[in-house]
Each structure stands twice: as C-alpha cells, then as structure tokens.
Chains A and B, each alone.
Chain A
Amino acid sequence: MNTTLSDKITYEGEFSEGTINDLLKKIDAWPSSLFKNKADVKYAVIELCSNIISHHSSTDFGSIIIDPQHSVCYLEVSSFASAKDYEIVASILNELKSVKDLKEHYFSKLERAGHAESVQLGMLKTYRCCNGNIELIGKTVASKILLTFKLKIDDCN
C-alpha cells in the first residue's frame, strides 16, 4: 500500500506531553492494513519525544516525521542538544551494538534506579523498537548540536 499524505505525520514546534498524546492518537488512527506494528512506533515516539522535553534538549523545540510505508515505518526526530549530551547519547547507542541479549540488559538496567539509567533505558527501548536500525546525526548549528535520530521500524508479519 502506498502512503497517502494523511498517513504521514509531521510536527515542528514546542514539544509537550500533549504533543506526544496527539501523535499517539494519530498513529492509532492508521488503518491496520497500512502498518500493524503500531506499538513499536508508539514506544519510540514516547521515548524520543520525552527526550526532547526532559533529558538532553536545551530547549523543548524540535521536529518529528513519522512516515509509514509498506512493511516499514520511517521515523525522524530532531532537537537541539549540547555537545556533551550528543556524546552521551552516541556512546549509549554505540555500547548497545555489542550487547547480545538486549532484553536481559534492559532488566539489569531497570534494577538500578537513577537518572543515568533512566536515559540509558529510554535509548535501549528505542533501540529495541527498531531492532538497532537507528542512525544518530549531530550537526553543529551556531554553538549547539542539532541532534537527529533516524529509525526504520519493521512491520510485523
């Protein structure tokens, strides 16, 4: 099935929990014939947008594109961050590449409560939603980094 203009979701501006809620409602409204694996898209949206609001961003401004195609959903989330936060996120994603059992890793992180673990858990959940099909791009704009996550989420069979 081809994506129609109404299936593709885009947003640019201030992010809030209300923004996340609106995005989840729009994903829920997709016909299941278009993309069945809505859950992984929703979890990734929750984690990445929460990052914009709370974790790494220096402002709540950002953008998101959610583009469901046949058998894959492309997700692109951008926001501004400090160079240090970019390094932290890049380091977490790099470490995850060598983890053999991501589920076990998730529960071992859950055991330890703390802000650092919270950031790692969020990235880990995102990483698992797209089976590691995630690309992190950092582009210097003035004194900040424009951080972009590009994900490919497979549909379920």
Chain B
Amino acid sequence: MTKVNSLSELKARRESLQSRNKIRETRDHNQSVVQVKVAMATCGIASGARDVMNFFSDELEKRRIEALVTQTGCMGYCYAEPTIEVHVPGDEPVVFGYVDIQKADEIIERYIRRQEQVDGIIPVGYRTIDNEED
C-alpha cells in the first residue's frame, strides 16, 4: 500500500475515492451498483446482523443483482436492530429496521428489484455536518 506523504497526496486520494463513490450512486452509469450497508456494531451483531449481512451477500449474487454489501458502524437505532441502509443508484438511501432473513428477502425482491414500497423504513431524524443547514 502506498504511503500518503503529503497534504496534496491525501487530497488527491480523497477526491478519487469520493468520485468513485459518486459514480456508484449515479443511476444509468455503467459502474453504478446497489449498495447495502449493514450496521455491524456489537448491538447489531448481537441482534443477528451477521446472518443478515451474509444473506445479502449470498442472495444478491445468486439473484444476479449487482450490488456492494458492506458493513458499517452503529446507526443509532438500537431499538430496531438489525438495521441496514439500502442505496439504490439515483435514489436517496433508506434505512430499514428489524431486518431478519425474511425481511431481507422482501427488501431484495420488492424494494431493490421492483422498487416497491416496503414497510419498516426508519425515518432519518438527524442532520449531519454536511447538511446541517437543512
């Protein structure tokens, strides 16, 4: 792995990583993919997030949906673990709570594949430092 030797190298790396992420999120771009983030903090794992994550990885591949499944930290909705965030290119990311295998299956088939409304979406109740003026 190459070292980051200066401020400009850090900036360059950050920009290339950010543009990679942008491309993934853009609908109709040939590299765009569905992104599924599974909250894999201790609380999530304790509620079964690992099984859910494995299910998404395996099933999305089996069902030939191009997707990127990654883990992330705690989203803060401890009462609704396991929680996941699904980002379909071109749409706003959505957070689902109480995701078990059955729910995961429903999310893949109905929300990801057919863009239908699925119950269990947790409204995002916070601002981040990027959009704090909202």
The answer to whether A and B belong to the same complex is no
B residues sitting closer than 8 Å to A (CB atoms) are none
A residues sitting closer than 8 Å to B (CB atoms) are none
